[in-house]
């Protein structure tokens, strides 16, 4: 395989503060063989319980995660944070959203991020800033996505409405600010330029009034879309029957059911098209802002859900490949598992007559979680504990990577983003299958879940794959 393949690792500044710039870079370059790093422009310090945020953050509502690498001597703790730079407030006059205020941590540790970026570039690494694509500080309900009934959805990811001008103006100001502070960075890695679909409600975003205006301006029949999607939403919340699941739970994996839905409800197909158009439009905004305030050679590398979940999120790998330098479909296999639980419990709650086994197999097929689905209970799919392997077989992951590569078709780099969370052997299994895939490289999220043993295994596996 090509020597030019990318191996990137995301590193939160907490660990740079804790371990030191040189120690982190030695682990990334000498131990793991990384060629790129992504960092967040934030500095932190330990805090008292209830002050700041808990790390690792809650994931999926009841995450059992703990760090592999101790952070200030602990594998989980409360931290307070601050931006690593002093924002230029004059850049933010066109948006109600303002950057986080600097504090004593900015004064004490802020220079560390610039120093780390320079040192990483000196070691030959590409360096990216990893940011939320559409979630400004203090996100207001006005800019949150809505369900087809107008209510705020039950969500795991608190992202914003992709059509919001206030959010887009914040993106422009924030990227301009960061490029003024860190002009040497290789590029940006915005996360979730789409509508996450961890929970069933999230799959039915976005009917925010701003989307209606955007749709009308871009020749979408919003009223037909709204009517079709609200009918589908209502059907799933009280009228779903076992007969609706027979095809989905069987060997055809719902091919006939999905075809019938798209034939009978063309508004749903148009809705999926609308979300993809919004996602691509947001990416074009990111591209324009980066080029305007940086330069055309600054890279845009987008993190997004993996196919086929992008059917609901709106991320379009084919369209994005004409806008981005790279796309990173997420191989977050612990999330794929817990989604069966999230969607399944909601559907059982609103359709009490459903057969649980039929429902579990239907969801596992819908999410493409393997070729041989034998589960009969929802609790067989959940968030794995730190010492539990992720219950997604290799074939399903390989198939997804190959599908994305086919969609992108060489127009951009495909660099799947896998997660460091999980037991050593299972992590190595998941990393190896990406390393040996046709993808152009791989990103690992996050450094805090990479023990010395995992870093050594990454280095060995990566060298063998090339």
Sheet (strand 53-55) strand order? 42-46, 77-83, 53-55
**β-sheet bridge partners, residue 46:** 79
Q: What is the mean pLDDT of residues 9-36?
A: 97
At 396-424, the pLDDT tens digits run: 999 999 999 999 999 999 999 999 999 99
Is the torsion defined by CA of 254, 259, 263, 268 positive or negative? positive
Looking at residue 93, what is its pLDDT? 98
> Does the pLDDT at position 428 exceed 90?
yes
3-state helix, strand, coil in the chain (%, to 5): 45, 15, 40
Looking at residue 453, what is its pLDDT? 98
In the chain, the percentage of residues whose pLDDT exceeds 70 is 98
Looking at residue 2, what is its pLDDT? 40
At 330-343, the pLDDT tens digits run: 999 999 999 999 99
Nearest to 375 by CA among 357, 397, 355: 357
Looking at residue 4, what is its pLDDT? 74
Looking at residue 260, what is its pLDDT? 83
Average confidence score pLDDT of the chain: 95
Distance CA 185, CA 38 (A): 10
CATH domain 6-197+278-337+392-465 topology: TIM Barrel (3.20.20)
Q: Are 448 and 40 in contact (CB under 8 A)?
A: no
Q: Output the six-digit token pair for 12.
A: 């939160």
> Does the pLDDT at position 62 exceed 60?
no
Q: What is the mean pLDDT of residues 201-223?
A: 97
The confidence band for 60, taking pLDDT boundaries of 50, 70 and 90, is low
In the chain, the percentage of residues whose pLDDT exceeds 90 is 90
Distance CA 164, CA 391 (A): 37
Query: If residue 368 lies in a helix (H) or strand (E), which one and from where to where?
Result: none
Burial class (CB in 10 A: 0-12, 13-18, 19+), 138: exposed
Long-range residue pairs from 341-347, CB within 8 A, at least 24 positions apart, any chain: 341/378, 341/379, 341/381, 341/382, 341/383, 342/60, 342/156, 342/198, 342/199, 342/200, 343/199, 343/200, 343/203, 344/378, 344/381, 345/378, 346/199, 346/200, 346/201, 347/200, 347/236, 347/240
Q: Give the angle 7-329-359 at the CA atoms, nearest 5°.
A: 140
Is the torsion defined by CA of 462, 184, 57, 197 positive or negative? negative
Distance CA 231, CA 205 (A): 14
- When computed from its CA atoms, the radius of gyration of the chain, rounded to whole angstroms, is 22
Residue ranges per structural domain of the chain: 6-197+278-337+392-465
Name the E strands within 68-174: 77-83, 126-132
At 238-277, the pLDDT tens digits run: 999 999 999 989 888 888 888 888 888 889 999 999 999 9
* pTM (predicted TM-score): 0.95
């Amino acid at each position: 395989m090509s020597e030019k393949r990318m191996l990137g690792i995301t590193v939160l500044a907490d660990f740079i503060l804790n371990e030191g710039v040189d120690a982190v870079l030695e682990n990334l370059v000498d131990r793991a063989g990384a060629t790129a790093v992504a960092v967040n422009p934030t500095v932190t310090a330990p805090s008292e319980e209830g002050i700041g945020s808990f790390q690792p953050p809650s994931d999926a509502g009841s995450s059992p995660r703990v760090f592999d690498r101790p952070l200030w001597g602990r594998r989980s703790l409360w931290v307070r944070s601050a931006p690593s730079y002093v924002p230029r407030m004059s850049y933010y006059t066109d948006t109600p959203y303002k950057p986080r205020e600097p504090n004593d941590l900015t004064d004490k540790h802020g220079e560390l991020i610039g120093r780390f970026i320079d040192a990483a570039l000196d070691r030959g690494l590409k360096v990216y800033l990893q940011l939320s694509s559409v979630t400004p500080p203090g996100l207001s309900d006005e800019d949150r996505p809505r369900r087809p009934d107008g209510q705020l959805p039950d969500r795991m990811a608190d992202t914003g409405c992709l059509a919001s001008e206030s959010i887009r103006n914040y993106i422009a100001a924030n990227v301009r600010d960061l490029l003024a502070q860190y002009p040497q960075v290789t590029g940006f890695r915005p996360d979730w330029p789409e509508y996450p679909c961890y929970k069933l409600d999230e799959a039915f975003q976005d009917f925010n009034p701003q989307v209606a205006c955007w749709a009308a301006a871009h020749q979408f029949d919003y009223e037909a879309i709204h009517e079709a999607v609200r009918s589908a939403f209502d059907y799933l919340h009280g009228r779903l029957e076992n007969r609706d699941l027979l095809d989905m739970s069987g060997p055809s994996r719902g091919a006939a059911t999905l075809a019938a839905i798209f034939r009978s409800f063309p508004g749903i197909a148009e809705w999926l098209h609308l979300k993809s158009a919004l996602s691509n439009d947001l990416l074009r905004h990111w591209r324009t802002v980066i080029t305007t305030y940086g330069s055309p050679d600054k890279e845009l590398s987008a993190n997004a859900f993996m196919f086929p979940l992008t059917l609901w999120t709106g991320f379009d790998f084919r369209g994005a490949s004409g806008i981005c330098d790279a796309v990173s479909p997420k191989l977050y296999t612990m999330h794929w598992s817990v989604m069966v639980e999230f969607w399944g419990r909601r559907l059982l709650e609103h359709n009490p007559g459903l057969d649980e086994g039929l429902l579990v197999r239907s969801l596992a097929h819908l999410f493409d979680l393997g070729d041989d689905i034998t589960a009969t209970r929802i609790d067989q799919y959940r968030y794995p504990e730190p010492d539990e392997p992720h219950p997604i077989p290799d074939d399903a992951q390989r198939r997804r990577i190959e599908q994305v590569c086919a969609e992108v078709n060489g127009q951009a780099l495909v660099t799947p983003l896998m997660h460091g969370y999980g037991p050593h052997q299972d992590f190595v299994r998941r990393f190896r299958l990406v390393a040996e895939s046709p993808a152009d490289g791989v990103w690992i999220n996050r450094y805090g879940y990479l023990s010395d043993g995992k870093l050594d295994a990454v280095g060995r596996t990566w060298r063998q794959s090339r």
